[in-house]
Amino acid sequence: MTLHAVPLRSVPAVVVSGLRRSYGARHVIDRLDLRIDRGEFVALLGESGCGKTTLLRALAGLDPVQGGHIDAPRRPAVVFQEHRLLPWENLWRNVSLGLEGGNPRQRAAHALAEVGLGERLDDWPRNLSGGQAQRVALARALVQEPELLLLDEPFAALDALTRIRMHELVKELVARHRPGVLLVTHDVDEAIALADRILVMRHGAIAFEHSAVARGSAAATRTRLLHELGVISTTAQVV
């Protein structure tokens, strides 16, 4: 919390304080504090099993909170690694799933147009490629006008070129809708490309924080992050 200066007049999208979650005797999340502001893009890195997915699930309300608090103004939107489209509903019905208020078709159409699939409202998910399906999942998340958008390795299953195009699209959309974003990933380069702030999680807590303001060259950042992740063992290699 204290590691970065909170900008003036910033509105929190979520504030986590003292979050704890354990399976048996093992603390997967151990007194974790985190604040994400609206319009802020935060990437969360960490080895497998460090608790980053557990944290995301807790924020999404999928797992009960065992200790501490999560203060989020509204239900966050989630994009998972798999698109999770309902195969028996066409695209606009998929996008408007759980959407409250009037004109669901029109609002879904607008969201689909934003991800470049505005012509395919009545198409079935089975006719989509992996990248297209993930764009529909993104539209389904954004149509809810979320204050907090949770991305659980949403690009991990895509091929390299599609992933790069997807990065650009997400950046544009987040800049326009300005939700607070938490991107869980294990791709250091993805985190550098997208995030304002990069967190490294270790043993259930935030072990390292790197904000774009303090950032040097991308190469230096990358080396530092790899060091924090335990991939590079000595600090001597830090440029």
Partner 1 sequence: MTSIEKIVTDFADADAGNVRAAGFSRPRTVSKNWLLIISWIAPLVLLVGWEWLAQAGWLSPQVLPAPSKVARTTFKLLLSGSLVNDLGVSLLRAAAGFAIGGAVGFALGTLVGFSTIAQALIDRSVQMIRAIPFLAMVPLVIVWFGVGEAEKIFLVSLGVAFPIYINTTLGIRQVDPKLLELGRVQGLSTWSTIRRIILPGALPSILTGVRYALATAWLALVVAETIGAQSGLGFLAMDAREFLRTDVIVLTILIYALIGVAADAITRWLERRLLRWHPNYAEASA
Residues making contact with partner 1 (CB under 8 A): 60-62, 75, 77-78, 80, 82, 84, 86-90, 97-98, 114-116, 124-132, 135, 140, 144, 161-162, 165, 168-169, 172-173
Nearer to partner 1, 77 or 111 (CB): 77
How far apart are CB 28 and partner 1 at their closest, in Å? 18
Would you say 24 or 87 has its CB closer to partner 1? Answer: 87
Q: Which residue has the tokens 């093992």?
A: 26
Contact 116, 135 (CB under 8 A): yes
- What is the nearest approach in angstroms of partner 1 to the Cβ of residue 103? 17
Q: Side by side, which strands form the sheet with 67-71?
A: 26-37, 12-23, 67-71
DSSP 90: -
User: β-strand 180-184 against 12-23: which pairing, if any?
Assistant: unpaired
Instruction: Tell me whether residue 25 or residue 160 sits nearer to partner 1 (CB atom).
Output: 160
Minimal distance, residue 233 CB to partner 1, in Å:
37
- Select 47 or 63, whichever has its Cβ closest to partner 1: 63
- Smallest separation, CB 214 to partner 1 (Å): 28
Number of C-beta neighbours around residue 3 at 10 A: 12
CB of 162 to partner 1, least distance (A): 7
The answer to whether residues 65 and 19 touch, using CB atoms and an 8 Å cutoff, is yes
* Max CA pair span of the chain: 59
Closer to partner 1 at the Cβ: 51 or 125?
Answer: 125
d(CA 141, CA 57): 15
- The full 3-state SS of 138-164, as one line of letters, equals HHHHHCCCCCEEEEECCCCCCCHHHHH
Q: Which amino acid is at 216?
A: G
CB atoms within 10 A of CB 61: 13
- Closest approach, Cβ 143 to partner 1, in A, equals 10
Least distance to partner 1, CB of residue 171, Å: 10
Pick the closer one to partner 1 by CB: 30 or 89: 89
Choose between 3 and 62: whose C-beta lies nearer to partner 1. 62
Q: Please say whether the beta carbons of 197 and 212 come within 8 A.
A: yes
Angle value at C-alpha 203, between 182 and 73, nearest 5 degrees? 30
